[in-house]
Structure 1
């Protein structure tokens, strides 16, 4: 990518097949309860079900340990974790020899549990996640989904989301040492909405 030492690969495939560190977006409570709060189909939910084998208590313990030292706000909730953290907070947890950067991206409706976010929040949160990668990643390869294309309700076309993520990587590389290899894993439903040739022409240094 221009002005960076990073090669960004686009891959149609599941992020859980990548033997790398991951960035995964979560809500501001870092909730651990699968169901109507954390959808089992979301990447947040799949971290709990796949990495932790559905053990919500173990996930909760690791997240709480990773968030030790962060200042949260205690709130009364009918369901879910009672402590809310600022959007952009990043919890770094272990996944065998790799790391998962859980990035607080979405607000959660107290009644419907529906998640939502905005482009400015995504920009800042992704910057915080890449800063955490610089601090803790030791240059290890990194994978992320097309963040914002799922349950965050950003309602932005995949092509524009991908441009935003690429631009943030370029921006973050000015102040952080980023991995030499990064991957954005794309879901199959993005295939008809992305012009890969145009993307390469716009971002590749080759």
Structure 2
């Protein structure tokens, strides 16, 4: 958590002032009632005691203004969105794994070792390429191949937005294709493709997760080529909006947990994200 940065954030001080003044007003009103009906209770109270009221107001304001944890519950639909900093593969939920339309899995020439796909192979399948390939083959058995590409690795293309759902060790892994690989295995995507892919992803989560929570990385970073047009702050809002739009059509699951890597947290304005989540509650 970047405490120093948050203390320098105008949103924090604005929230602190608003909540502090509101709390001070409410406490003063209560104190006035006591003075009116039970004046003897306040008799003899001096300077040290009177500081209790602003101290309580300040403590309340600090709790309301501090951005941790960044989470918001929505009554309609009954769901929650939460941001956490940590390791995607340490989450006790189903997981979203971003992939390309060819569903390549082999590092390091095609898939980066430190990418989500690379970690998926290493952390979940203990680098057993053949096992993961077989599970993907089964998950894609009913999906239609729409073309081929002459490149190293897999050559069959599936429609962008295709979701290959793997159930492995009591977890569902939703492998969603939102990028295309060219002949040189360079990935690319667009905002339109990303939005459509997320819509199909949430449909699949709704169908297969039995309402259980799902964790997702910040979609659109890494090798997708989207980071120049969709910086991390916008990528988080994009993911939140896609989930909320899908949830308003029909509830997707009990919780979306967006997992931010520790090295990326310094680039995220948590206060702004919390305000954004709260604004969606008001408009729901």
Whether these two folds match at TM > 0.5 is yes
Distance in 2 between residues matched to 1:36 and 1:22, nearest whole Å:
24
Residue 197 and residue 69 in structure 1: after superposition, are their counterparts in 2 closer, same or farther (change >3 A)?
A: same
Structure 1 unmatched runs, 5+: none
More strand by share: 1
Separation (CA, whole Å) in 2 of partners of 1:8 and 1:178: 12
2:103 paired residue number:
30
Partner of 1:191: 265
Deviation string 1:133-160 (CA, Å, 9 cap, x unpaired) is 0110001111000011222111222111
- How do 1:124-163 residues align onto structure 2 when only pairs under 5 Å count? 124-154=196-226, 155=228, 156-163=230-237
Unmatched segments (≥5 aa) in structure 2: 1-72
Once residues 151 and 179 of structure 2 are traced to their aligned partners in structure 1, the CA distance between those partners, rounded to angstroms, is: 19
Q: How far apart, in 2, do the equivalents of 1:148 and 1:203 lie?
A: 20
In the alignment, is residue 71 of structure 1 matched against residue 71 of structure 2? no
Contact between 2:149 and 2:183, CA under 8 Å: does it hold in 1?
no
Using CA pairs under 8 Å that are at least 6 residues apart, name the structure with larger relative contact order, 1 or 2. 1
Please point out which of 57, 61, 81 is paired with 2:154.
81
Give the superposed CA RMSD: 1.6
TM-score norm. by structure 1 comes to: 0.93
The structure in which a higher percent of residues are helix is: 2
The structure having more radius of gyration, on CA atoms, is: 2
- Checking the alignment, whether the CA contact within 8 Å between 1:131 and 1:176 is kept in structure 2 is no
Partner of 1:53 in structure 2?
126
Shift of 1:74: 4.9
Query: How many residues of Structure 1 are paired with residues of Structure 2 in the alignment?
Result: 205
Equivalent of residue 172 in structure 1, options 240, 243, 246:
246
